Amino acid sequence: MRILIVGSLSGELGKAAKIVLARGVSIDHAETGKEAVSKICLNGDYRFIFCSVIEDISSLIKRMESERIAVPVVACGPEDPEMAAHAISCGAEDYIPLPPDPDIIAGFLENASQEKSTFLTIDPVMKTFMADVEKIAASDASVLITGESGTGKEVLSKYIHVKSKRASAPFVALNCAALPETLVESELFGHERGAFSGAATRRVGRFEAANHGTLLLDEISEMDIRLQAKLLRAIQEREIDRLGGNSPVPVDVRIIATSNRNLPSEVETGGFRQDLYFRLNVISLSIPPLRQRQNDIPLLAKYFSDHYSKVNGLKPRRLSSEAVEKLQKYNWPGNVRELENAIHRAVIISSHEEIDENCFIFADSNIPSVEPDSPTCSWVGHRMDEMEQAFIIDTLVHTDGNRTHAASMLGISIRALRNKLKEYAEHGVSVPPPNSGMAGLS
């Protein structure tokens, strides 16, 4: 883990930096937000940016957004609730009070290193699967992880990295569906200054950022076929060409790719290169959907309820046995992500320390939801495109704005979903924002 510290180190922030260093975490330093962005562009992967509240956090975040950098910013400043609230409203994800308390910083770092890297499971159907995962982790082979949306493909990738001999090097992820095709190439391979209009600084790509570590290519099936050829070359030759660069750069990276689409049939229809498929599919793991491992439901539910109680400053919430039974009977089309969202909501809405079954309301997931006031209530008399729009928006509301999950439930590609949403927004239709989190509460 590497952290970039932004601001003057002469005061309390410098003391915080020393505590971070003493915990074995490497740090880099930038005096200003502008310098910070150049450093990230050049050096790649930081787990966090610790930024002094004296700096203009809002413009740092805007600069990062314009460079498509998504590193969480943690504001550091005096123990003052108003300053903390202001920093959070500017886009900071957390606030560390200064003078720094070594225990708070240690807890923060510990949380960050454990976060999303433990693949929780106890269901007997997962026993052989997990035994295979342990063996696979130790090897250096490419891994292809498939499974429905929300089954934990990204968590499993991180777990494999943490268990591998590359654990002390970076784990870098790129969601191939999250960026327009034109940007994926420069994200992957980086670019030299002036390589294209807008390339104001030299920037390392994810391949270089992941050197000696692991590169997760999430939703690989969404990658443009032309770029697939370049990726294949990078994997085979173990070197990449930066956009606008003169000579290849050697890279030592383990690739883990995920897909929630059926890659062999994509290969058959010409949407995915067969040679790349064989390269990635040295080892393949298919995560079973949550409904096929019901014993994991109580374990995960408890884990999320403890986590969200803590995050919300509440006493630990306990799930009643009726609530657990109800969770185990539901078929979880959105898998663990849907369970996590359901528990998060339940933790907040439950007025007692016990979460009872009434905190969970599930539509029959085999039938599209037909609420009395919903446009899908009476299908007769509506045009197909109206129905499609209502269906897509309803699904997106159900997934709390999560595009990947919604696309998977609708059985369409994320790109197709995104195009539809763009079209709706251009016609003034209110589209649930991405990751709107607790949208269902309001």
Q: Amino acid letter at 145? A: I
d(CA 171, CA 7): 26
d(CA 316, CA 309): 5
CB of 355 to ligand ATP, least distance (A): 18
95 or 304: whose CB is closer to ligand ATP?
A: 304
Q: Considering only residues 33, 97, 150, 333, which one is a binding residue for ligand ATP as defined by CB under 6 A?
A: 150
27 or 155: whose CB is closer to ligand ATP?
A: 155
> In the Cβ-directed half-sphere of 407, how many Cα atoms lie within 13 Å?
21
41 or 409: whose CB is closer to ligand ATP?
A: 409
| 151: DSSP letter | S
CA-to-CA separations, 50 to 3, 138, 411, in angstroms, rounded: 7, 33, 40
CB count in 10 Å sphere of residue 384: 7
Segment interacting with ligand ATP, rule: CB under 6 A, options 94-102, 145-153, 178-186, 425-433:
145-153
Q: Considering only residues 336, 342, 343, 393, which one is a binding residue for ligand ATP as defined by CB under 6 A?
A: 336
37 or 136: whose CB is closer to ligand ATP?
A: 136
Which of 50, 33, 69, 247 is closest to 174 using CA atoms? 69
Q: Considering only residues 52, 142, 146, 151, which one is a binding residue for ligand ATP as defined by CB under 6 A?
A: 151
105 or 421: whose CB is closer to ligand ATP?
A: 421
Segment interacting with ligand ATP, rule: CB under 6 A, options 29-37, 136-144, 237-245, 334-342:
334-342
Three-state DSSP at 6 gives: strand
> In 314-428, which ranges are E strands?
318-319, 354-355
64 or 414: whose CB is closer to ligand ATP?
A: 414
Enclosing H/E stretch for 406: helix 403-410
185 or 340: whose CB is closer to ligand ATP?
A: 340
CB count in 10 Å sphere of residue 140: 11
Which of 272, 284, 170 is closest to 221 using CA atoms? 272
Structure tokens at 194: 């002036």
Segment interacting with ligand ATP, rule: CB under 6 A, options 97-105, 114-122, 233-241, 363-371:
114-122
420 binds ligand ATP, rule: CB under 6 A = no
152 binds ligand ATP, rule: CB under 6 A = yes
146 binds ligand ATP, rule: CB under 6 A = no
Segment interacting with ligand ATP, rule: CB under 6 A, options 77-85, 96-104, 116-124, 237-245:
116-124
169 or 300: whose CB is closer to ligand ATP?
A: 300
Q: CA end-to-end span of the chain, whole Å?
A: 37
d(CA 291, CA 93): 33
Structure tokens at 394: 């309803």
Enclosing H/E stretch for 236: helix 225-237
CB of 295 to ligand ATP, least distance (A): 12
Q: Considering only residues 191, 317, 337, 398, which one is a binding residue for ligand ATP as defined by CB under 6 A?
A: 337
CB of 395 to ligand ATP, least distance (A): 13
Residues that bind ligand ATP (CB under 6 A): 116, 119-121, 147, 149-155, 258, 260, 336-337, 340, 404-405
